[in-house]
Amino acid sequence: MSVTIDGATDGDVPAIVAIERAAFSDPWSAQSFREALDHPAVYFACARRDDAEVAGYVVAWFVADEGEIANLAVAPDEWGGGIGRALLDAALDEGGRRGAQAVYLEVRDSNERARRLYRSRGFEEVGRRRGYYRRPDEDAIVLRRTLMEQDV
């Protein structure tokens, strides 16, 4: 099966919320996702399999010359299939198109699967936010990827 990445729609929000709740202990609300849909600084995309079902999503903000990956999740039954990598690459490509020179994100200290993905795409640790996450309390590792001319 192939994967396509395209813009999220209001009709995708229920599937996105279900993935969000499966992936995170402190999930975003449906309203938070709906508010992101029409914001001009936001890149909000879904990964879909051939059956058009949402398999994952990414939400990124791009302002001036910086970006932030605010949320990225993949349905648990799709883990290991390259969907997270495809979503991250799409967001980085969009950042380059929008003139971002650096993209940041936070990741739970214990989330080794996500940290491996981010390392594989050139993200480097630049800081730590103590007690950033709730349920359970945990530090966030701040990562940065510099975008080069060849990235765009």
Residue-wise pLDDT for 30-78, tens only, equals 999 999 998 999 999 999 987 789 999 999 999 999 999 999 999 999 9
Mean pLDDT of 68-91: 95
pTM: 0.93
Mark whether 118 is an active-site residue: yes
Tell me, rounded to whole angstroms, the distance of Cα 44 from its chain centroid.
9
Number of domains within the chain? 1
Tell me the residue type at 46.
Answer: C
Give the structural domain span for 128: 4-151
Q: In the 8-state DSSP scheme, what is residue 33?
A: H
Give residue 138's pLDDT band: very low, low, confident or very high (50, 70, 90).
very high
Single-letter residue type at 28: W
List the one residue out of 74, 71, 92 whose CA is nearest residue 82.
74
Q: Considering 106, 112, 133, 138, which one is annotated as catalytic?
A: 106
CATH number at residue 124: 3.40.630.30
Report the distance separating Cα 81 and Cα 132, nearest Å: 29
pLDDT digits (tens, 9 = 90+) for 121-136: 999 999 999 999 888 8
Neighbours of 137 (CB within 10 A): 9
Active-site choice (57, 104, 118, 133): 118
